[in-house]
Chains A and B, each alone.
Chain A
Amino acid sequence: MILVPITYKGGIYRHSEIIDLIEDLGGYIVQKHMIAQEVVLQCFVPKDDVELIRAIGKPLAGEVTDSPLVGTEIAIVSMSLEIHHLPHPSCDIAEYVRRLGAKSNMVGMARGVGKRIAGINDEERDVINEHDIAVYLLGNFEHCIEHKMPVLLRGIDVPVVLCGGPDKEVLERIVEPKVDGYVGNVGRFMHRTKESEELTKLDEIIGEITRVLSKRREELAKDPLSVSPARLMDVIREKVPAILDVTSPTPLTVQMSGLRVKLPFDTYAEVLRKTEIEDGIKIGDIADIEPSRMRDYILVKVRPFSETNIVI
Protein backbone atom coordinates (compact mmCIF):
# COMPACT_ATOMS: atom_id res chain seq x y z
CA MET A 1 0.00 0.00 0.00
CA ILE A 2 1.49 3.31 -1.09
CA LEU A 3 0.66 6.20 1.19
CA VAL A 4 0.54 9.73 -0.24
CA PRO A 5 0.59 12.99 1.72
CA ILE A 6 -2.55 15.12 1.38
CA THR A 7 -4.27 18.01 3.12
CA TYR A 8 -8.01 17.92 3.78
CA LYS A 9 -9.66 21.27 4.42
CA GLY A 10 -13.31 21.41 5.29
CA GLY A 11 -16.03 22.48 7.66
CA ILE A 12 -16.06 21.32 11.25
CA TYR A 13 -19.53 19.78 10.77
CA ARG A 14 -19.29 15.96 10.53
CA HIS A 15 -15.52 16.11 10.11
CA SER A 16 -15.19 13.13 12.43
CA GLU A 17 -16.59 11.03 9.59
CA ILE A 18 -13.59 11.99 7.46
CA ILE A 19 -11.21 11.16 10.32
CA ASP A 20 -12.86 7.74 10.72
CA LEU A 21 -12.73 7.17 6.97
CA ILE A 22 -9.02 7.97 6.76
CA GLU A 23 -8.26 5.68 9.69
CA ASP A 24 -10.45 2.89 8.31
CA LEU A 25 -8.67 3.10 4.97
CA GLY A 26 -5.37 2.58 6.75
CA GLY A 27 -4.24 6.20 6.58
CA TYR A 28 -2.67 8.32 9.33
CA ILE A 29 -3.47 11.82 10.49
CA VAL A 30 -0.22 13.65 11.11
CA GLN A 31 -1.63 17.00 12.20
CA LYS A 32 -5.11 18.28 12.92
CA HIS A 33 -5.88 21.99 13.17
CA MET A 34 -9.24 23.44 14.11
CA ILE A 35 -9.41 27.07 13.08
CA ALA A 36 -12.77 28.69 13.86
CA GLN A 37 -15.31 26.76 11.74
CA GLU A 38 -12.64 25.07 9.62
CA VAL A 39 -10.71 21.90 10.14
CA VAL A 40 -7.41 21.14 8.43
CA LEU A 41 -6.11 17.57 8.41
CA GLN A 42 -2.63 16.79 7.20
CA CYS A 43 -2.51 13.11 6.58
CA PHE A 44 -1.09 10.11 4.76
CA VAL A 45 -3.70 8.13 2.86
CA PRO A 46 -3.55 5.15 0.46
CA LYS A 47 -2.93 6.41 -3.08
CA ASP A 48 -5.94 4.56 -4.52
CA ASP A 49 -8.36 6.05 -2.00
CA VAL A 50 -7.66 9.75 -2.53
CA GLU A 51 -10.60 10.04 -4.93
CA LEU A 52 -12.88 8.28 -2.44
CA ILE A 53 -12.00 10.78 0.31
CA ARG A 54 -12.50 13.60 -2.15
CA ALA A 55 -15.96 12.25 -3.09
CA ILE A 56 -17.06 11.70 0.51
CA GLY A 57 -15.71 15.08 1.60
CA LYS A 58 -17.44 17.01 -1.18
CA PRO A 59 -20.90 17.26 0.43
CA LEU A 60 -19.16 18.45 3.63
CA ALA A 61 -17.47 21.30 1.71
CA GLY A 62 -14.21 19.40 2.02
CA GLU A 63 -11.28 19.98 -0.28
CA VAL A 64 -8.42 17.55 -0.81
CA THR A 65 -5.07 18.83 -2.06
CA ASP A 66 -1.70 17.18 -2.55
CA SER A 67 0.79 18.30 0.08
CA PRO A 68 4.20 16.95 -0.75
CA LEU A 69 5.71 18.35 2.43
CA VAL A 70 3.42 16.60 4.93
CA GLY A 71 5.44 14.36 7.22
CA THR A 72 8.67 16.30 6.87
CA GLU A 73 10.50 18.46 9.35
CA ILE A 74 12.39 21.34 7.79
CA ALA A 75 15.08 23.53 9.36
CA ILE A 76 14.97 27.13 8.18
CA VAL A 77 18.49 28.28 8.95
CA SER A 78 18.75 32.01 9.47
CA MET A 79 22.15 33.61 9.87
CA SER A 80 20.95 35.35 13.03
CA LEU A 81 17.78 36.21 14.88
CA GLU A 82 18.31 39.97 14.53
CA ILE A 83 16.02 42.46 12.79
CA HIS A 84 18.29 42.19 9.72
CA HIS A 85 16.93 38.72 8.93
CA LEU A 86 13.64 38.61 10.81
CA PRO A 87 10.73 38.66 10.22
CA HIS A 88 11.53 38.91 6.51
CA PRO A 89 12.56 36.76 4.77
CA SER A 90 13.08 33.96 7.37
CA CYS A 91 9.55 33.95 8.83
CA ASP A 92 7.93 34.40 5.42
CA ILE A 93 9.62 31.26 4.13
CA ALA A 94 9.07 29.28 7.34
CA GLU A 95 5.38 30.16 7.25
CA TYR A 96 5.05 29.30 3.57
CA VAL A 97 6.46 25.79 3.96
CA ARG A 98 4.20 25.31 6.98
CA ARG A 99 1.16 26.05 4.84
CA LEU A 100 2.12 23.18 2.57
CA GLY A 101 2.17 20.73 5.41
CA ALA A 102 5.77 20.71 6.59
CA LYS A 103 6.76 21.21 10.18
CA SER A 104 9.30 24.00 10.00
CA ASN A 105 11.69 25.00 12.74
CA MET A 106 13.70 28.18 12.62
CA VAL A 107 17.36 27.75 13.49
CA GLY A 108 18.94 31.10 14.30
CA MET A 109 22.71 30.90 14.35
CA ALA A 110 24.76 32.55 17.03
CA ARG A 111 27.63 33.53 14.70
CA GLY A 112 26.23 33.06 11.20
CA VAL A 113 26.62 36.67 10.13
CA GLY A 114 29.53 38.34 8.40
CA LYS A 115 32.16 36.99 6.05
CA ARG A 116 35.36 36.12 7.91
CA ILE A 117 33.66 35.89 11.31
CA ALA A 118 30.87 33.49 10.26
CA GLY A 119 30.82 30.16 12.05
CA ILE A 120 28.68 27.25 13.17
CA ASN A 121 28.85 25.54 16.55
CA ASP A 122 28.25 21.90 17.44
CA GLU A 123 24.77 22.46 18.83
CA GLU A 124 23.60 24.24 15.68
CA ARG A 125 25.13 21.53 13.53
CA ASP A 126 23.44 18.73 15.50
CA VAL A 127 20.07 20.48 15.56
CA ILE A 128 20.18 21.01 11.78
CA ASN A 129 21.17 17.38 11.27
CA GLU A 130 18.06 16.24 13.14
CA HIS A 131 15.85 17.55 10.32
CA ASP A 132 14.93 16.09 6.93
CA ILE A 133 16.27 19.08 5.03
CA ALA A 134 17.87 22.43 5.84
CA VAL A 135 17.03 25.63 3.99
CA TYR A 136 19.90 28.12 4.34
CA LEU A 137 18.92 31.75 3.95
CA LEU A 138 21.92 33.83 3.00
CA GLY A 139 22.61 37.43 2.15
CA ASN A 140 23.00 39.45 -1.02
CA PHE A 141 26.71 39.39 -1.80
CA GLU A 142 28.21 36.53 -3.77
CA HIS A 143 31.66 37.26 -2.36
CA CYS A 144 30.40 36.72 1.20
CA ILE A 145 28.41 33.58 0.31
CA GLU A 146 31.43 32.08 -1.44
CA HIS A 147 33.62 32.82 1.54
CA LYS A 148 31.38 31.60 4.37
CA MET A 149 29.59 28.57 2.92
CA PRO A 150 32.43 26.04 3.42
CA VAL A 151 32.33 26.92 7.13
CA LEU A 152 28.54 26.87 7.50
CA LEU A 153 28.23 23.49 5.79
CA ARG A 154 30.85 21.84 7.97
CA GLY A 155 29.43 18.63 9.46
CA ILE A 156 26.00 19.04 7.87
CA ASP A 157 24.84 15.72 6.45
CA VAL A 158 21.18 16.43 5.63
CA PRO A 159 20.23 17.75 2.18
CA VAL A 160 20.57 21.54 1.91
CA VAL A 161 18.67 24.05 -0.20
CA LEU A 162 20.46 27.36 -0.38
CA CYS A 163 18.73 30.71 -0.95
CA GLY A 164 20.76 33.81 -1.69
CA GLY A 165 20.71 37.17 -3.41
CA PRO A 166 22.80 36.31 -6.51
CA ASP A 167 21.32 34.46 -9.50
CA LYS A 168 20.89 30.69 -9.28
CA GLU A 169 23.68 30.05 -11.80
CA VAL A 170 26.09 32.19 -9.78
CA LEU A 171 25.20 30.33 -6.58
CA GLU A 172 25.74 26.99 -8.30
CA ARG A 173 29.17 28.17 -9.43
CA ILE A 174 30.47 29.75 -6.22
CA VAL A 175 29.16 27.49 -3.43
CA GLU A 176 31.60 24.85 -2.24
CA PRO A 177 30.93 22.10 -1.25
CA LYS A 178 28.00 21.68 -3.62
CA VAL A 179 24.54 21.45 -2.06
CA ASP A 180 21.35 19.78 -3.26
CA GLY A 181 19.28 22.77 -4.30
CA TYR A 182 19.73 26.46 -5.10
CA VAL A 183 17.27 29.34 -5.28
CA GLY A 184 18.64 32.65 -6.52
CA ASN A 185 17.41 36.22 -6.03
CA VAL A 186 16.14 35.56 -2.50
CA GLY A 187 18.64 37.32 -0.29
CA ARG A 188 18.17 39.67 2.59
CA PHE A 189 15.25 42.08 2.26
CA MET A 190 13.34 44.25 4.68
CA HIS A 191 9.75 44.10 3.49
CA ARG A 192 6.93 41.57 3.50
CA THR A 193 6.67 39.18 0.56
CA LYS A 194 3.37 40.17 -1.00
CA GLU A 195 4.12 41.12 -4.61
CA SER A 196 3.27 38.40 -7.12
CA GLU A 197 6.88 37.95 -8.23
CA GLU A 198 7.98 37.51 -4.61
CA LEU A 199 5.29 34.89 -4.07
CA THR A 200 6.52 33.17 -7.23
CA LYS A 201 9.96 33.08 -5.61
CA LEU A 202 8.47 31.41 -2.51
CA ASP A 203 6.85 28.84 -4.80
CA GLU A 204 10.25 28.32 -6.41
CA ILE A 205 11.73 27.57 -2.97
CA ILE A 206 8.93 25.06 -2.30
CA GLY A 207 9.56 23.51 -5.72
CA GLU A 208 13.24 23.09 -4.94
CA ILE A 209 12.55 21.63 -1.46
CA THR A 210 10.01 19.20 -2.96
CA ARG A 211 12.46 18.13 -5.66
CA VAL A 212 15.21 17.43 -3.14
CA LEU A 213 12.84 15.59 -0.80
CA SER A 214 11.45 13.46 -3.64
CA LYS A 215 14.98 12.39 -4.45
CA ARG A 216 15.49 11.49 -0.81
CA ARG A 217 12.18 9.54 -0.78
CA GLU A 218 13.33 7.58 -3.82
CA GLU A 219 16.56 6.68 -2.01
CA LEU A 220 14.57 5.58 1.04
CA ALA A 221 12.26 3.46 -1.14
CA LYS A 222 15.25 1.39 -2.32
CA ASP A 223 15.76 0.17 1.24
CA PRO A 224 12.38 0.67 2.93
CA LEU A 225 12.02 1.53 6.59
CA SER A 226 11.03 -1.23 9.00
CA VAL A 227 7.95 0.75 9.95
CA SER A 228 6.37 3.88 8.58
CA PRO A 229 6.99 6.85 10.94
CA ALA A 230 3.30 7.78 10.63
CA ARG A 231 2.31 4.35 11.91
CA LEU A 232 4.84 4.59 14.72
CA MET A 233 3.24 7.89 15.66
CA ASP A 234 -0.14 6.17 15.97
CA VAL A 235 1.34 3.39 18.09
CA ILE A 236 3.01 5.84 20.49
CA ARG A 237 -0.15 7.93 20.73
CA GLU A 238 -2.09 4.81 21.66
CA LYS A 239 0.36 3.11 24.00
CA VAL A 240 2.23 5.97 25.68
CA PRO A 241 -0.61 8.06 27.16
CA ALA A 242 1.82 10.67 28.56
CA ILE A 243 2.10 12.09 25.05
CA LEU A 244 -1.51 13.22 25.25
CA ASP A 245 -0.63 15.61 28.08
CA VAL A 246 2.06 17.42 26.08
CA THR A 247 0.84 20.90 25.18
CA SER A 248 3.20 21.43 22.24
CA PRO A 249 1.37 21.88 18.89
CA THR A 250 2.94 18.72 17.52
CA PRO A 251 3.85 16.41 20.42
CA LEU A 252 4.88 13.80 17.87
CA THR A 253 6.60 15.29 14.84
CA VAL A 254 6.75 12.95 11.88
CA GLN A 255 9.91 13.00 9.81
CA MET A 256 10.76 11.09 6.66
CA SER A 257 12.68 8.39 8.44
CA GLY A 258 11.82 8.93 12.06
CA LEU A 259 9.94 10.78 14.69
CA ARG A 260 10.56 13.50 17.24
CA VAL A 261 8.82 12.64 20.51
CA LYS A 262 8.40 15.63 22.77
CA LEU A 263 8.80 13.78 26.06
CA PRO A 264 11.81 13.91 28.40
CA PHE A 265 14.48 11.44 27.27
CA ASP A 266 15.57 10.17 30.68
CA THR A 267 12.08 9.19 31.76
CA TYR A 268 10.59 7.93 28.54
CA ALA A 269 13.40 6.50 26.37
CA GLU A 270 13.13 3.08 28.01
CA VAL A 271 9.32 3.18 27.94
CA LEU A 272 9.45 3.83 24.19
CA ARG A 273 12.03 1.10 23.59
CA LYS A 274 9.79 -1.45 25.29
CA THR A 275 6.57 -0.35 23.61
CA GLU A 276 5.24 -3.15 21.45
CA ILE A 277 4.17 -2.39 17.90
CA GLU A 278 2.72 -5.79 16.99
CA ASP A 279 3.48 -9.52 17.33
CA GLY A 280 6.01 -8.92 20.08
CA ILE A 281 8.12 -6.53 18.01
CA LYS A 282 9.12 -3.58 20.11
CA ILE A 283 10.07 -0.07 18.96
CA GLY A 284 13.58 -0.67 20.32
CA ASP A 285 13.99 -3.64 17.92
CA ILE A 286 13.51 -1.59 14.77
CA ALA A 287 14.49 1.94 15.73
CA ASP A 288 17.26 3.82 17.48
CA ILE A 289 16.02 5.92 20.39
CA GLU A 290 18.39 8.85 20.86
CA PRO A 291 18.37 12.08 22.84
CA SER A 292 17.65 15.12 20.74
CA ARG A 293 19.73 18.31 20.94
CA MET A 294 16.44 20.20 20.91
CA ARG A 295 15.44 20.60 24.58
CA ASP A 296 15.28 17.13 26.16
CA TYR A 297 13.17 15.56 23.44
CA ILE A 298 13.57 12.05 22.11
CA LEU A 299 14.57 11.31 18.55
CA VAL A 300 13.36 8.01 17.12
CA LYS A 301 15.28 6.92 14.02
CA VAL A 302 13.67 4.00 12.24
CA ARG A 303 16.20 1.50 10.89
CA PRO A 304 15.83 0.21 7.32
CA PHE A 305 14.76 -3.31 6.36
CA SER A 306 18.34 -4.26 5.41
CA GLU A 307 19.41 -3.85 9.05
CA THR A 308 16.44 -5.38 10.87
CA ASN A 309 14.95 -7.86 8.39
CA ILE A 310 11.55 -6.76 9.65
CA VAL A 311 8.84 -4.79 7.88
CA ILE A 312 5.62 -4.07 9.72
Chain B
Amino acid sequence: MQAIDYFEVECPEKRGGEYYRQIANDVLLDHNLLRVIQKIHIYIDPKVPIFVAVGVLKKVTSVVKVGDIANINPQEGKLTLAISDETWLAPMLKIFWDRFGKDHVDQPDRFTVILYGVKAEVREIEEIVIADPSQALKKDLVYALRCICPEGFRVRSENYSADKFSFVASEDLLTDAGLALVREKFALMGVTP
Protein backbone atom coordinates (compact mmCIF):
# COMPACT_ATOMS: atom_id res chain seq x y z
CA MET B 1 0.00 0.00 0.00
CA GLN B 2 2.95 2.33 -0.57
CA ALA B 3 0.90 4.67 -2.77
CA ILE B 4 -1.63 5.51 -0.04
CA ASP B 5 -0.64 8.04 2.63
CA TYR B 6 -3.15 6.81 5.20
CA PHE B 7 -4.89 3.44 5.30
CA GLU B 8 -6.67 2.30 8.45
CA VAL B 9 -9.31 -0.31 9.20
CA GLU B 10 -10.94 0.10 12.58
CA CYS B 11 -13.07 -2.66 14.05
CA PRO B 12 -13.98 -3.77 17.59
CA GLU B 13 -13.30 -7.39 16.51
CA LYS B 14 -9.55 -7.52 16.03
CA ARG B 15 -9.41 -10.56 13.77
CA GLY B 16 -12.36 -9.36 11.66
CA GLY B 17 -10.63 -6.00 11.21
CA GLU B 18 -7.47 -7.70 9.95
CA TYR B 19 -9.48 -9.66 7.38
CA TYR B 20 -11.24 -6.53 6.20
CA ARG B 21 -7.90 -4.75 5.83
CA GLN B 22 -6.85 -7.57 3.52
CA ILE B 23 -10.15 -7.43 1.61
CA ALA B 24 -9.89 -3.65 1.15
CA ASN B 25 -6.29 -4.00 0.01
CA ASP B 26 -7.17 -6.72 -2.53
CA VAL B 27 -10.17 -4.89 -3.94
CA LEU B 28 -8.40 -1.53 -4.30
CA LEU B 29 -5.43 -3.26 -5.89
CA ASP B 30 -7.63 -5.24 -8.29
CA HIS B 31 -9.40 -2.10 -9.48
CA ASN B 32 -6.17 -0.15 -9.78
CA LEU B 33 -7.42 2.47 -7.34
CA LEU B 34 -4.27 2.90 -5.30
CA ARG B 35 -3.16 5.72 -7.59
CA VAL B 36 -6.44 7.55 -7.01
CA ILE B 37 -6.88 7.28 -3.25
CA GLN B 38 -4.71 9.37 -0.99
CA LYS B 39 -6.25 8.52 2.38
CA ILE B 40 -8.85 5.98 3.42
CA HIS B 41 -10.32 5.09 6.79
CA ILE B 42 -12.71 2.17 7.19
CA TYR B 43 -14.75 1.56 10.32
CA ILE B 44 -16.87 -1.55 10.81
CA ASP B 45 -18.90 -2.50 13.85
CA PRO B 46 -20.90 -5.71 13.29
CA LYS B 47 -22.76 -5.21 16.57
CA VAL B 48 -24.52 -1.98 15.51
CA PRO B 49 -24.22 -3.00 12.55
CA ILE B 50 -22.48 -0.27 10.53
CA PHE B 51 -19.81 0.11 7.88
CA VAL B 52 -18.18 3.48 7.24
CA ALA B 53 -15.53 4.27 4.65
CA VAL B 54 -14.23 7.80 4.25
CA GLY B 55 -11.36 8.95 2.11
CA VAL B 56 -9.52 11.65 0.27
CA LEU B 57 -8.86 11.36 -3.45
CA LYS B 58 -5.78 12.45 -5.31
CA LYS B 59 -6.11 14.94 -8.11
CA VAL B 60 -7.13 12.67 -10.94
CA THR B 61 -5.19 12.93 -14.18
CA SER B 62 -6.58 15.32 -16.72
CA VAL B 63 -8.50 14.41 -19.86
CA VAL B 64 -6.91 12.44 -22.73
CA LYS B 65 -6.48 14.38 -25.98
CA VAL B 66 -5.57 13.19 -29.47
CA GLY B 67 -2.13 14.82 -29.08
CA ASP B 68 -1.43 12.59 -26.03
CA ILE B 69 -1.72 9.33 -27.95
CA ALA B 70 -0.80 10.20 -31.55
CA ASN B 71 1.77 12.08 -33.62
CA ILE B 72 0.18 13.93 -36.49
CA ASN B 73 1.97 14.16 -39.85
CA PRO B 74 0.41 16.70 -42.21
CA GLN B 75 0.74 15.66 -45.86
CA GLU B 76 -0.90 16.93 -48.99
CA GLY B 77 -4.64 16.46 -48.67
CA LYS B 78 -4.35 14.17 -45.67
CA LEU B 79 -3.24 13.91 -42.07
CA THR B 80 -1.48 10.73 -40.93
CA LEU B 81 -1.75 9.88 -37.25
CA ALA B 82 0.87 7.52 -35.79
CA ILE B 83 -0.74 5.98 -32.69
CA SER B 84 1.52 5.43 -29.69
CA ASP B 85 -1.10 4.16 -27.21
CA GLU B 86 -3.91 1.92 -28.42
CA THR B 87 -5.94 2.20 -25.19
CA TRP B 88 -8.01 5.13 -26.43
CA LEU B 89 -8.06 4.23 -30.12
CA ALA B 90 -11.70 3.11 -30.23
CA PRO B 91 -13.20 6.25 -28.65
CA MET B 92 -10.91 8.38 -30.83
CA LEU B 93 -12.13 6.74 -34.04
CA LYS B 94 -15.71 7.15 -32.92
CA ILE B 95 -15.19 10.87 -32.42
CA PHE B 96 -13.49 11.18 -35.82
CA TRP B 97 -16.34 9.35 -37.54
CA ASP B 98 -18.92 11.59 -35.89
CA ARG B 99 -17.02 14.77 -36.66
CA PHE B 100 -15.57 14.11 -40.15
CA GLY B 101 -17.66 11.20 -41.45
CA LYS B 102 -16.51 7.65 -42.15
CA ASP B 103 -15.46 8.50 -45.73
CA HIS B 104 -12.74 10.77 -44.44
CA VAL B 105 -11.29 8.40 -41.84
CA ASP B 106 -9.18 5.39 -42.73
CA GLN B 107 -7.24 2.95 -40.55
CA PRO B 108 -4.86 0.90 -42.72
CA ASP B 109 -3.26 -0.83 -39.73
CA ARG B 110 -3.37 -0.97 -35.94
CA PHE B 111 -1.07 1.99 -35.38
CA THR B 112 -2.05 4.29 -38.22
CA VAL B 113 -5.11 6.46 -38.80
CA ILE B 114 -5.39 8.66 -41.87
CA LEU B 115 -7.77 11.61 -42.18
CA TYR B 116 -8.51 12.57 -45.80
CA GLY B 117 -9.64 16.00 -46.89
CA VAL B 118 -10.15 17.32 -43.39
CA LYS B 119 -10.18 21.07 -43.14
CA ALA B 120 -8.64 21.43 -39.73
CA GLU B 121 -5.31 22.54 -38.33
CA VAL B 122 -2.96 20.00 -36.77
CA ARG B 123 -3.16 21.91 -33.50
CA GLU B 124 -6.94 21.76 -33.60
CA ILE B 125 -6.94 17.97 -34.06
CA GLU B 126 -4.42 17.51 -31.26
CA GLU B 127 -6.72 19.34 -28.86
CA ILE B 128 -9.73 17.08 -29.44
CA VAL B 129 -10.69 15.45 -26.13
CA ILE B 130 -11.08 11.68 -26.47
CA ALA B 131 -11.83 10.47 -22.96
CA ASP B 132 -12.07 11.47 -19.34
CA PRO B 133 -10.46 8.67 -17.26
CA SER B 134 -11.71 10.20 -14.03
CA GLN B 135 -15.26 9.14 -14.94
CA ALA B 136 -14.23 5.48 -15.14
CA LEU B 137 -12.24 5.80 -11.94
CA LYS B 138 -15.28 7.16 -10.10
CA LYS B 139 -17.32 4.21 -11.30
CA ASP B 140 -14.59 1.83 -10.14
CA LEU B 141 -14.45 3.51 -6.76
CA VAL B 142 -18.21 3.18 -6.24
CA TYR B 143 -18.02 -0.50 -7.24
CA ALA B 144 -14.96 -1.18 -5.09
CA LEU B 145 -16.53 0.26 -1.94
CA ARG B 146 -19.65 -1.84 -2.46
CA CYS B 147 -17.37 -4.89 -2.82
CA ILE B 148 -15.48 -4.17 0.38
CA CYS B 149 -18.63 -3.49 2.40
CA PRO B 150 -20.31 -6.59 3.91
CA GLU B 151 -22.95 -7.73 1.46
CA GLY B 152 -25.85 -7.68 3.88
CA PHE B 153 -25.41 -3.95 4.54
CA ARG B 154 -27.80 -2.78 1.88
CA VAL B 155 -29.03 0.52 3.31
CA ARG B 156 -26.41 2.92 2.02
CA SER B 157 -25.56 6.59 2.03
CA GLU B 158 -22.84 7.42 -0.47
CA ASN B 159 -21.24 10.76 -1.25
CA TYR B 160 -18.59 11.29 -3.89
CA SER B 161 -17.09 14.68 -4.65
CA ALA B 162 -14.04 15.66 -6.70
CA ASP B 163 -11.64 15.19 -3.82
CA LYS B 164 -13.44 13.25 -1.05
CA PHE B 165 -15.84 10.39 -0.60
CA SER B 166 -17.86 8.92 2.22
CA PHE B 167 -19.75 5.64 2.30
CA VAL B 168 -22.01 4.54 5.14
CA ALA B 169 -23.89 1.25 5.05
CA SER B 170 -25.97 -0.81 7.42
CA GLU B 171 -28.54 -3.54 7.58
CA ASP B 172 -30.96 -1.28 9.43
CA LEU B 173 -32.09 2.28 8.87
CA LEU B 174 -29.20 4.73 9.02
CA THR B 175 -29.44 6.88 12.11
CA ASP B 176 -28.01 10.34 12.73
CA ALA B 177 -25.43 8.74 15.00
CA GLY B 178 -24.30 6.52 12.14
CA LEU B 179 -24.05 9.39 9.72
CA ALA B 180 -22.20 11.46 12.34
CA LEU B 181 -19.41 8.87 12.20
CA VAL B 182 -18.42 10.26 8.81
CA ARG B 183 -17.32 13.57 10.38
CA GLU B 184 -15.59 11.71 13.20
CA LYS B 185 -13.62 9.43 10.86
CA PHE B 186 -12.66 12.31 8.57
CA ALA B 187 -11.31 14.09 11.66
CA LEU B 188 -9.09 11.07 12.42
CA MET B 189 -7.40 11.62 9.09
CA GLY B 190 -7.06 15.34 9.79
CA VAL B 191 -9.63 16.29 7.17
CA THR B 192 -12.80 18.31 7.46
CA PRO B 193 -15.64 16.76 5.46
**Which positions in A face B, CB cutoff 8 Å?**
79-80, 82-85, 113-118, 139-144, 165-167, 187-191
Contact = CB atoms under 8 A, between A and B. Distances in A.
Contact of A114 (B30, B147, B153): B153
Counting chain B residues whose Cβ lies within 8 A of the other chain, the interface size class is 20 to 34
A116 B172 contact: yes
Contact of B23 (A115, A118, A189): A189
A191 B26 contact: yes
A140 B171 contact: no
28 contacts: A82-B151, A84-B150, A84-B151, A113-B151, A113-B152, A114-B151, A114-B171, A115-B46, A115-B152, A117-B152, A139-B150, A140-B19, A140-B20, A141-B150, A142-B15, A142-B16, A143-B47, A144-B46, A144-B49, A144-B150, A165-B16, A167-B15, A188-B23, A189-B22, A190-B23, A190-B27, A190-B147, A191-B26
A142 B16 CA distance: 8
Given A84-B150, A140-B16, A141-B16, 6 more contacts: A84-B147, A142-B16, A144-B150, A165-B16, A187-B16, A189-B23
Contact of B151 (A85, A141, A191): A85
Secondary structure of the A contact surface, majority rule: loop
Interface string B122-162: 00000000000000000000000001001111100000000
B16 A80 contact: no
A141 B26 contact: no
A85 B151 CA distance: 9
Contact of B19 (A115, A143, A187): A187
A143 B13 contact: yes
Q: Shortest 3 CB-CB distances between A and B: which pairs? A: A114-B152, A113-B152, A141-B46
With most chain B CB atoms within 10 A of its CB, the pick from A118, A140, A142, A166 is A140
Contacts of B147: 83-84, 190
A117 B171 contact: yes
Nearest to A192: B26
Contacts of A82: 151
With most chain A CB atoms within 10 A of its CB, the pick from B20, B30, B46, B49 is B46
A194 to B, nearest CB: 13
Contacts of B152: 113-115, 117-118
A190 B25 CA distance: 9
B191 to A, nearest CB: 27
Contacts of A191: 22, 26
B151 A79 contact: yes
A190 B144 CA distance: 11
Contact of A190 (B26, B49, B150): B26
A84 B49 CA distance: 18
Contacts of B47: 143
A114 B26 contact: no
A83 B23 CA distance: 12
Contacts of B13: 141-143
A270 B40 CA distance: 64
A293 B49 CA distance: 35
B33 to A, nearest CB: 13
Contacts of B172: 116
Contacts of A116: 49, 171-172
B147 to A, nearest CB: 6
Contacts of A139: 150
